[in-house]
C-alpha cells in the first residue's frame, strides 16, 4: 500500500533550513528532531544554498567576510615588505660590525 505524501508549507521548510544553517547541527539531527526524513531536509538545504549562494551567511556577514579577506591579503603583503626590510637591516648590521 502506498504511503500518503506529507506536505510542508514554505514557512516550515524555511525554518528547518535556518535551523541547519544557523545552529551548525547536521541535517540528520534536525530531521530526526522534526520527525521527517533527512533526504527531504537535505534537498531543502541544497535548494536554499543554490538559491542564496551558500545559504549560511547574511548580507552583512558576506560583506564582513570580503572585508576581512581583503585585509588579510593586505596584511600578508605588509608582512612580506617588513621581512624584506628586516633582512636589509640584518645585512647592514653585519657589514657595520665587521
In angstroms, the CA 34 to CA 48 distance is 18
The residues, ordered by sequence, that sit 6+ positions from 21 with a Cβ below 8 Å of its Cβ are 45, 48, 55, 56
pLDDT recorded at residue 13: 87
Confidence tier at 87 by pLDDT (50, 70, 90): very high
**pLDDT at res. 83:** 97
Please name which of 33, 29, 61 lies closest in space to residue 52, comparing C-alpha atoms.
61
String of DSSP letters for 10-46: HHHHHHHHHHHHHH---HHHHHHHHTS-HHHHHHHHH
Summary mean pLDDT of the chain? 86
Question: So what's the pLDDT on residue 89?
Answer: 93
Query: Can you give the pLDDT at residue 69?
Result: 94
pTM beyond 0.85, yes or no: no
Answer for the pair 48, 21: CB distance below 8 angstroms, yes or no: yes
- For 3-33, the pLDDT digits (tens) are 677 788 888 888 888 888 888 888 899 999 9
Amino acid at each position: 500500500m502506498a504511503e500518503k505524501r506529507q506536505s510542508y508549507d514554505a514557512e516550515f521548510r524555511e525554518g528547518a533550513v535556518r535551523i541547519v544553517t544557523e545552529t551548525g547541527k547536521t541535517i540528520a539531527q534536525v530531521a530526526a528532531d522534526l520527525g521527517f526524513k533527512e533526504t527531504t531536509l537535505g534537498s531543502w538545504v541544497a535548494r536554499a544554498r543554490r538559491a542564496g549562494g551558500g545559504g549560511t551567511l547574511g548580507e552583512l556577514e558576506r560583506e564582513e567576510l570580503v572585508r576581512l579577506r581583503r585585509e588579510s591579503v593586505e596584511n600578508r603583503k605588509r608582512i612580506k615588505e617588513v621581512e624584506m626590510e628586516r633582512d636589509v637591516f640584518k645585512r647592514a648590521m653585519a657589514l657595520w660590525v665587521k
